[in-house]
């Protein structure tokens, strides 16, 4: 199938965004459009923005004037390879720093993040690759926090579901609320600056020379960052969280601790929790490596708490944790409620309750 009117690719535009715009310009709707091109009615549920088989890209190349590489570069695969290096790519697994979307089995994943101001009109809108990179909590252009749901009916943003009669990606596909009217929140300045530094690293291979890294390369940067994020999540569950926040001059965040409590991976966290952890990690990244090491030693963090919350490893983390104790006597992580022996009375009641089930 030949795409008659072919839109230009916007800067950093993600594949689905370009496909949706193509379908609208050509008077079609994304679902039937993709079925025609790829001969696959499950195309959208497979998250083509993350990974698309070469064979599928070739089908698209035949129908348009874009090259194989131009199309592949609209997906997240080339970026993920920069983050994780030469490790084997497994598209069935979750990817470090890549936000999952859609629904697989019974596990509901996040919807697609969007900037309400970037959804200008039905022909000029863009969803960009950075919206899927988990350190992005705001739009680089408009400096407002990204959204994921319709604020009126709470339905996830799924623009590929727009239909021919209402082919307007700025309308909620469930209740037709104009998403451009959503309440917007200004980005946290510090988190925004850090986010843009990381975007500059991944997109332009330009790493801030002041970052506390043993080696200044992308893999070292993103692995170190990801290990620290796992460590911080574990740390916030311990009684050392308060002292640590004080050290970073962030004691005012203490009251947020309850709200952002989660056992989700960083990639699956709600935006608010990711913003919280990014603020912490950006403070660490503004220090010198020796100062981080000193703080960790002073607060008597264990090697396990810092380095073993993640399966990744990095030279920077090895260096920082060199002198830390493997395990401490005082348990670091606050354990869940202990199982205590029951009194005679309690056992009796339990037995009665059990009997009714037998």
Q: Which is nearer to Zn ion, 154 or 290 (CB)?
A: 154
Residue 42 DSSP symbol: T
Using DSSP's 3-state secondary structure scheme, residue 46 falls into helix
Q: Which is nearer to Zn ion, 16 or 224 (CB)?
A: 16
Q: Which is nearer to Zn ion, 71 or 150 (CB)?
A: 150
For the four alpha carbons of 116, 118, 119 and 120, in that order, the dihedral sign comes to positive
Alpha carbons 127 and 113: distance in angstroms, whole number: 8
Q: Which is nearer to Zn ion, 20 or 320 (CB)?
A: 20
Give me 92's structure tokens.
Answer: 């069935």
Q: Which is nearer to Zn ion, 137 or 302 (CB)?
A: 137
10 binds Zn ion (CB under 5 A): no
Site for Zn ion in 113-172 (CB under 5 A): 115, 117-118, 139, 141-142, 150, 152-153, 155, 172
Q: Which is nearer to Zn ion, 142 or 272 (CB)?
A: 142
Measure Cα distances from 32 to 7, 100, 131 in Å: 18, 23, 25
Q: Least distance to Zn ion from the beta carbon of 153, Å? A: 3
Residue 32: alpha-carbon gap to chain centroid = 29
Q: Least distance to Zn ion from the beta carbon of 177, Å? A: 4
Nearest residue to 201 via CA among 356, 35, 83, 349: 83
Give me 122's structure tokens.
Answer: 């039905």
**Ramachandran class of 124: left when φ > 0, alpha when ψ lies in -120 to 50, beta otherwise:** beta
Query: What track of x and - describes contact with Zn ion for positions 61 through 100 (by CB under 5 A)?
Result: ----------------------------------------
The answer to whether 90 and 80 have CB atoms below 8 angstroms apart is: no
Which window, 4-12, 177-185, 292-300, 334-342, contacts Zn ion (CB under 5 A)?
Answer: 177-185
Choosing from 4, 36, 94, 175, the residue that interacts with Zn ion (CB under 5 A) is 175
Q: Least distance to Zn ion from the beta carbon of 174, Å? A: 5
- The number of residues that bind Zn ion (CB under 5 A) is 14
Q: Least distance to Zn ion from the beta carbon of 122, Å? A: 16
Count of H helices and E strands in the chain? 13, 2
Q: Least distance to Zn ion from the beta carbon of 159, Å? A: 13
Q: Least distance to Zn ion from the beta carbon of 123, Å? A: 16
- Dump the DSSP string for 326-357: SS-SS-SSPPPPPP-PPPHHHHHHHHHHHHHH
Q: Which is nearer to Zn ion, 138 or 241 (CB)?
A: 138
Alpha carbons 57 and 118: distance in angstroms, whole number: 26
Which positions touch Zn ion (CB under 5 A)?
115, 117-118, 139, 141-142, 150, 152-153, 155, 172, 174-175, 177
């Amino acid at each position: 199938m030949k795409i008659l009117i072919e839109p230009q690719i916007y800067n950093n535009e993600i594949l689905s965004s370009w496909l949706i715009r193509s379908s609208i310009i050509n008077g079609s709707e994304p679902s039937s459009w993709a079925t025609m091109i790829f001969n696959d009615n499950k195309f959208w549920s497979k998250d083509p923005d993350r990974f698309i088989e070469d064979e599928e890209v070739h089908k698209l190349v035949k129908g348009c004037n874009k090259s194989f590489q131009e199309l592949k570069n609209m997906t997240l695969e080339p970026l993920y390879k920069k983050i994780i290096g030469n490790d084997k790519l497994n598209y069935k697994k979750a990817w470090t720093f890549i936000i999952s979307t859609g629904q697989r089995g019974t596990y509901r994943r996040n919807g697609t993040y969007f900037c309400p101001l970037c959804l200008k009109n039905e022909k000029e809108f863009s969803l960009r690759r950075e919206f899927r990179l988990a350190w992005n909590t705001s739009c680089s252009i408009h400096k407002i926090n990204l959204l994921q749901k319709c604020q009126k009916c709470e339905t996830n943003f799924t623009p590929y579901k727009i239909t021919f009669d209402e082919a307007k990606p700025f309308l909620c596909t469930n209740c037709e609320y104009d998403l451009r009217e959503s309440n917007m929140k200004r980005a946290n300045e510090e988190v925004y600056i850090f986010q843009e530094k990381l975007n500059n690293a991944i997109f332009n291979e330009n790493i801030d020379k002041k970052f506390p890294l043993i080696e200044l390369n992308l893999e070292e940067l993103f692995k170190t960052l990801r290990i620290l994020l796992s460590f911080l999540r574990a740390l916030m569950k311990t009684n050392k969280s308060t002292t640590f926040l004080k050290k970073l001059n962030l004691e005012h965040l203490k009251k947020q601790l309850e709200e952002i409590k989660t056992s989700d991976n960083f990639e699956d966290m709600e935006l608010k929790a990711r913003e919280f952890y990014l603020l912490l990690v950006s403070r660490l990244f503004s220090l010198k490596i020796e100062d981080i090491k000193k703080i960790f030693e002073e607060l008597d963090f264990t090697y396990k708490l810092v380095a073993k919350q993640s399966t990744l490893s990095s030279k920077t983390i090895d260096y920082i944790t060199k002198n830390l104790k493997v395990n401490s006597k005082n348990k670091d992580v606050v354990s869940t409620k202990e199982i205590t022996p029951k009194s005679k009375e309690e056992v009796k009641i339990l037995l009665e309750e059990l009997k009714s089930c037998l």
